[in-house]
Structure 1
């Protein structure tokens, strides 16, 4: 089959393209301003890419057009497709029909942690000899690729609540029909397509409705929104994780996020010792252990596998460091873009720094948080009031306000001189570098390329040092 993918450079659609190519299909695709790194990965696979959405692409005459949700009515190629009456489908539907059918699907849903938890789960199954397939919204460092078909029966998929396509406004995950579903957490997000949290809860319940009675729901016990979802109706086994107190059958942690016992009730069943920091990763690990157990991996074996888990690119990823006076300045990249994720990421870095400094003399090392409100939700200003809360543990905060329709200066006013707002990347870099001190940790947070700010900061820091 020849498929032509619209919006192929997105993480999900690019992963789908790689799976289709691996399965033997001929794959071509297009996107606006075809861009790396996905464009480089796809070309390396022999996938022909076209820049733009010209109606002349009808002449390619594929067997099927697969349409990403980035494409809307009014798009020249979409209008030509509709006028010509050609076959088309959404990415999630194609995946369900051509890849997931007949497999044990393990789907990881939630506002936060989907990518990390999916990668953890895939690695646990890999270490158990199951050779799973997977499609993750990032690149797990243990695998080096975001998607593969795998040889085993299991397939791990990051289950997104965003919509499928201009003609299918349901959440992607309703197509996946998982036998094991992780409900990691649930907050309001995607203000461009959801009116309120209740609307997202309804979509999560659509996912719950698709899980068979022999399936398992792995549910964060701390999330009231998820308890409301289950209250709408549940027909599968439920295993909860993360409770702060002992609960029958549930998994919880005892100890620090980087070294903790896994308890079922009051019984210790495993111990995780790994390089990751932050309570969010501790919870992600519990979810992965509970999900892997459903396909026969003992918690002790899962915990052992997590000891060699290397995380995902753009999750507190160190991009470089510069010797700076009596110390060095480190620059990190992280995908955090929701206020809760930003707060959690800063807390994780704070814990890591404090652990490394334990017993040392000298000033506490600072965190300089550099971020851009780039997601559709943040661009709309739906969560601007939460920004000071999300940045509480940062010593200084630098916001790129270019393209916003709301006043970032006003939103960050409660932080006083702790916050700096700049309307261009160059101004932002200049202010950050001027404020930098030996020992600082500069944490850049965005769900986009952030204008190459990481390299610009490293270059500017090196120039200031010289």
Structure 2
């Protein structure tokens, strides 16, 4: 099979391309830019394009399939050539589904928590020696990729609500046609795609309604919006099994979290109310797949979390340094509260980067009101050039202080100033949390952590 990837440098796309080459297919690809880890992994597997750009001559009639990434535009010259030649074009969600039609498909969605829930399920299945495929947006300990495509009978998919491709504006998770679906929570995000909240919320309604006869839909009944779109929804097939969940009971002592179970207290590495909720969702998924409760809890005792999800960068007797993918208001608030609750006797300095379209939108930033209140010191870093590049109105430091409803908010527009501020702080009994879904302006978080930890 000859497969060409338009946008091969994407975080998911490059992993699918590598897997398809490993599966014996002839794979080529193109992109106008790529960054690590995509670049090094593509190079290692002989798939890195010789030069950046889009070249119609890459598209020939001997290609069997085109996989189109979100990064490509509708007028992409390679895409236009493929359309002209009549080559079959897939978005990557459509492609994943085409390889998974005969599998049991578990799709985990929600504005927050989906990566962690997916990782918990994967970790548990691996320890129980299940044969399964997966698609997840972060690296998980014990797995060498974020994608596996094989003849396994099950696939676990982290399904997001972002649009599918330049040719298809429907959310990705609708293409997977789940047998088991999970909805963890709803909080407005992707304002560039869904400019009003009702339109955004409706995507999750469609996800719930896409549940199949005799399938299962697992949902967070503590989230009012989730509860609203699931319960009493007569468009969800009447033979779909609806399985609500709540936050798992736990206790925190001396900086450690313990699950309260019928088998006794069990210490786990993940912490925070949001992760206790994620854990209960994962438990129900695993139960549907034949995992006993005792087996699931055993797995959670060795689960260390997904990459950049409250990931411990370093620690000493005085402080802990965490990095997290949080960027949307609900994620920022939940992550700050989680660290503060885990270490109530220590101060918390919480630093977040705003770099997405939503988080730099002057109207949307009002959603951050009071989200950083649990931090002793709250810091925002943003680059005004990002705002200009996205075609958004300029925002000022005062705009952010007003939006966060926190006049003592520290705001920085250069990483040099930010690092100088952090180095000058007293880190005795003071934890540092750095939150970003980007690159934190190129700041080396590990190097900074080592400097602060001494």
How far the C-alpha of 1:457 sits from its partner, in A, is 5.9
| Counterpart contact for 1:18–1:147, Cα < 8 Å | no
Matches within 5 A, 1:165-184: 165-184=165-184
The answer for the alignment partner of 1:161 in structure 2 is 161
Partner SS state of residue 377, structure 1: coil
Residues 1:416 and 2:407 aligned together: yes
Distance of aligned partners of 1:298 and 1:102 in 2 relative to their CA distance in 1, 3 Å threshold? same
| Counterpart contact for 1:368–1:394, Cα < 8 Å | yes
Q: Deviations over 1:24-47 (max 9, x none)?
A: 222222333211012222333332
Residues 1:299 and 2:293 aligned together: yes
Query: In structure 1, how many angstroms separate the alpha carbons of the residues matched to 2:146 and 2:415?
Result: 29
The answer for the alignment partner of 1:426 in structure 2 is 416
Query: In structure 2, how many angstroms separate the alpha carbons of the residues matched to 1:81 and 1:176?
Result: 24
Range with greater deviation from structure 2 (268-277 or 14-23): 268-277
Distance of aligned partners of 1:453 and 1:345 in 2 relative to their CA distance in 1, 3 Å threshold? same
Range with greater deviation from structure 2 (301-310 or 53-62): 53-62
Distance of aligned partners of 1:310 and 1:18 in 2 relative to their CA distance in 1, 3 Å threshold? farther
Distance of aligned partners of 1:438 and 1:454 in 2 relative to their CA distance in 1, 3 Å threshold? farther
The answer for the alignment partner of 1:110 in structure 2 is 110
| Counterpart contact for 2:30–2:54, Cα < 8 Å | no
The answer for the alignment partner of 1:282 in structure 2 is 276
Matches within 5 A, 1:319-398: 319-320=313-314, 330-354=320-344, 364-398=345-379
Q: Deviations over 1:191-216 (max 9, x none)?
A: 11113332233322332333222111
CA root-mean-square deviation:
2.6
Partner SS state of residue 259, structure 1: strand
Query: In structure 2, how many angstroms separate the alpha carbons of the residues matched to 1:143 and 1:304?
Result: 19
Query: In structure 2, how many angstroms separate the alpha carbons of the residues matched to 1:172 and 1:93?
Result: 8
Match of 2:432 among 431, 442, 448: 442
| Counterpart contact for 1:328–1:440, Cα < 8 Å | yes
Residues 1:130 and 2:130 aligned together: yes
How far the C-alpha of 1:272 sits from its partner, in A, is 4.9
Partner SS state of residue 139, structure 2: coil
Distance of aligned partners of 1:114 and 1:459 in 2 relative to their CA distance in 1, 3 Å threshold? closer
Residues 1:406 and 2:395 aligned together: yes
Distance of aligned partners of 1:331 and 1:131 in 2 relative to their CA distance in 1, 3 Å threshold? same
Distance of aligned partners of 1:4 and 1:50 in 2 relative to their CA distance in 1, 3 Å threshold? farther
Q: Deviations over 1:366-411 (max 9, x none)?
A: 2222211122221223431233411111111222221233234322
How far the C-alpha of 1:112 sits from its partner, in A, is 0.2
Range with greater deviation from structure 2 (47-56 or 392-401): 47-56
| Counterpart contact for 1:160–1:172, Cα < 8 Å | yes
Residues 1:139 and 2:139 aligned together: yes
Distance of aligned partners of 1:130 and 1:58 in 2 relative to their CA distance in 1, 3 Å threshold? same
Query: In structure 1, how many angstroms separate the alpha carbons of the residues matched to 2:94 and 2:139?
Result: 23
Structure-2-length-normalised TM-score? 0.88
The answer for the alignment partner of 1:211 in structure 2 is 211
Q: Deviations over 1:221-250 (max 9, x none)?
A: 1122222322432220011000xxxxxxxx
| Counterpart contact for 1:333–1:454, Cα < 8 Å | no
Structure-1-length-normalised TM-score? 0.85
Distance of aligned partners of 1:436 and 1:12 in 2 relative to their CA distance in 1, 3 Å threshold? farther
How far the C-alpha of 1:445 sits from its partner, in A, is 0.9
Query: In structure 2, how many angstroms separate the alpha carbons of the residues matched to 1:35 and 1:333?
Result: 20
| Counterpart contact for 2:313–2:322, Cα < 8 Å | yes
The answer for the alignment partner of 1:64 in structure 2 is 65
How far the C-alpha of 1:143 sits from its partner, in A, is 2.1
Query: In structure 2, how many angstroms separate the alpha carbons of the residues matched to 1:438 and 1:52?
Result: 47
Distance of aligned partners of 1:460 and 1:101 in 2 relative to their CA distance in 1, 3 Å threshold? closer
Partner SS state of residue 342, structure 2: helix
How far the C-alpha of 1:82 sits from its partner, in A, is 4.4
Query: In structure 1, how many angstroms separate the alpha carbons of the residues matched to 2:191 and 2:400?
Result: 18
| Counterpart contact for 1:53–1:77, Cα < 8 Å | no
The answer for the alignment partner of 1:220 in structure 2 is 220
The answer for the alignment partner of 2:121 in structure 1 is 121
How far the C-alpha of 1:72 sits from its partner, in A, is 1.6
The answer for the alignment partner of 1:96 in structure 2 is 97
How far the C-alpha of 1:79 sits from its partner, in A, is 4.3
